[in-house]
Amino acid sequence: MSQSCRFPDSNYSEAGHRLEAMPMIVISAQRLFTPQEEIENPRVLVDAGFITAIHSRETAEIPANARVIDFEGSILVPGFVDIHMHGGAGLDVMRASPDELPHLSRFLIRHGVTAYFPTTVTAPLDQTCQALGRLADAVESSSTGNNIPQARPVGIHLEGPFLSHKRRGVHPAEYLVAPTLATFDRLWQAARGNVRMLTIAPELPGAMEVIAEAARRKVLVSIGHSDAMLDAAHAAVKAGARHATHTFNAMRPLDHREPGILGEVLTNAFTADIIADGIHVAPEVVKLFLLAKGFEHSVLITDATAATGMPDGIYQLGPIQVEVKDGRCTKDGKLAGSVLTMDRAVRNVTKFAGWSLRNAVQAATLNSARAAGLQQHGILAAGAEANIVVLSPEGEVRRTIAHGH
């Protein structure tokens, strides 16, 4: 395979900010997953932070001024895209200051994540709006580029406050609110239009109007934290919903006569995500989900909290205190997010379902990026940002290249 493409001026990012001058580099390895295709002995040409060509080693010519980096025995894959995560490395995204978020981004990069949606939890609306303002600052400043490899927050995921009381999980009941266009617009304005994903329970009065308006604004509307019957879930999809949040968790259970929301999620050809840690969903049910959704519509998320990468103890999840012990993150005995990392989720899928590493990688890259409308992420192709993870054959992260750095 040979691809060649260049932005009109490769010294500029898509946001219009000038990138720091970077040397042209050629990256080689044993294999490359685009992820839809596999290329043996690839050479990837990177210029000014973007991929300009991908060739096989036999046909590639190395430019005279290029720096060559050879990851012998490794696999090149796109940077992972996590569209549902609340924190890590001791930091909660709703509480972290702008100066602290780069620490979280550097933690994520070590686990192969190059783009993510910082995700809110239900809190008082004033607190949520304040957090959205800080997160919008982080999203907008992340596009200016720097020479430090780190994951970029590329949009905000609103998980709440439009959730079912019955299926709220650990989201505080006192802060849940009915979905209205006015409340949604208040949150949208607080985030300065940086909301890219919304989790909503479709059975709530007013939900259909909010779903339709959010979809009109190019938000990925996801049904979840829901006690919906099948008809309500189907109506949500007709209104504009096209994704499902942490399938099986915080949802009406599947019944063979009244399948409810899960009947829609498992049979409709839209994307859905799952927490593949073996705790939130049994490995056998993860396999069932992957069989139902297939290689094209399965999305891996972490639902990671501030406790991810940290020792057992007490941590914050928005306004909630959670306890982590033996890999389980709980509040009063209920699961409250996870300590999962995306690279482990990928390896778990190969173990739980027998998927190839390439297919598991697709569920953590291309599928999530396409669902969220992130054109520059989740794929290795000419013209895309140079977000590349170097994996061992077993799926361990050896190195991450973020935005060409």
Q: What is the pLDDT of residue 60?
A: 66
Residue 21 phi/psi, 5-degree rounding, is -60, 130
Q: What is the pLDDT of residue 23?
A: 73
In a domain, 358, yes or no: yes
Give the integer Cα–Cα distance in Å for 287 and 292: 9
307-352 tens-digit pLDDT: 999 999 999 999 999 999 999 999 999 999 999 999 999 999 999 9
Question: Do residues 98 and 135 both lie within one domain?
Answer: yes
Q: Check which CATH number belongs to the domain holding 40 and give it.
A: 2.30.40.10
In a domain, 73, yes or no: yes
* DSSP code string of 200-227: E-TTSTTHHHHHHHHHHTT-EEEE-SB-
Question: Do residues 72 and 85 both lie within one domain?
Answer: no
In a domain, 384, yes or no: no
Q: Give the count of domains, the chain.
A: 2
Q: Check which CATH number belongs to the domain holding 198 and give it.
A: 3.20.20.140
In a domain, 387, yes or no: no
Mean pLDDT of the chain: 92
Question: Do residues 110 and 39 both lie within one domain?
Answer: no
Give the integer Cα–Cα distance in Å for 163 and 176: 7
Q: What is the pLDDT of residue 5?
A: 30
Q: What is the pLDDT of residue 12?
A: 31
- Residue in 47, 82, 303, 343 annotated catalytic: 303
Question: Do residues 153 and 183 both lie within one domain?
Answer: yes
Q: What is the pLDDT of residue 153?
A: 96
270 with 297: CB under 8 angstroms? yes
115-148 tens-digit pLDDT: 999 999 999 999 999 999 999 999 999 865 556 7
In a domain, 205, yes or no: yes
Domain that holds residue 17: 3-77+394-401
Check if 303 is active-site.
yes
Give the integer Cα–Cα distance in Å for 291 and 298: 9
Give the integer Cα–Cα distance in Å for 172 and 168: 8
Question: Do residues 214 and 252 both lie within one domain?
Answer: yes
In a domain, 275, yes or no: yes
Residue 401 phi/psi, 5-degree rounding, is -110, 120
pLDDT of 405 over the 60 cut: yes
Average pLDDT of the segment spanning 100-125:
97
Question: Do residues 66 and 99 both lie within one domain?
Answer: no
pLDDT of 18 over the 60 cut: no
89 with 107: CB under 8 angstroms? yes
pLDDT of 7 over the 80 cut: no
Question: Do residues 95 and 236 both lie within one domain?
Answer: yes
Question: Do residues 17 and 101 both lie within one domain?
Answer: no
260-304 tens-digit pLDDT: 999 999 999 999 999 999 999 999 999 999 999 999 999 999 999
Picking from 177, 136, 172, 170, the residue whose alpha carbon sits closest to that of residue 154 is 136
Residue 208 phi/psi, 5-degree rounding, is -65, -40
pLDDT of 1 over the 70 cut: no
Q: What is the pLDDT of residue 278?
A: 98
Coil, helix or strand at residue 187 = helix
Question: Do residues 126 and 257 both lie within one domain?
Answer: yes
194-224 tens-digit pLDDT: 999 999 999 999 999 999 999 999 999 999 9
Question: Do residues 64 and 92 both lie within one domain?
Answer: no
> CA triplet 249, 254, 257: central angle to 5 degrees?
165
Residue with tokens 């992972």: 80
Average pLDDT of the segment spanning 92-99:
93
In a domain, 186, yes or no: yes
Burial of 322 per CB tally in 10 Å (0-12, 13-18, 19+): buried
Average pLDDT of the segment spanning 383-395:
97
Number of C-beta neighbours around residue 354 at 10 A: 10
Question: Do residues 278 and 148 both lie within one domain?
Answer: yes
| Beta bridge partners of residue 70, listed in sequence order | 28
Question: Do residues 152 and 72 both lie within one domain?
Answer: no
Strands 80-85 and 156-159 turn out to be: unpaired
Q: What is the pLDDT of residue 11?
A: 34
In a domain, 388, yes or no: no
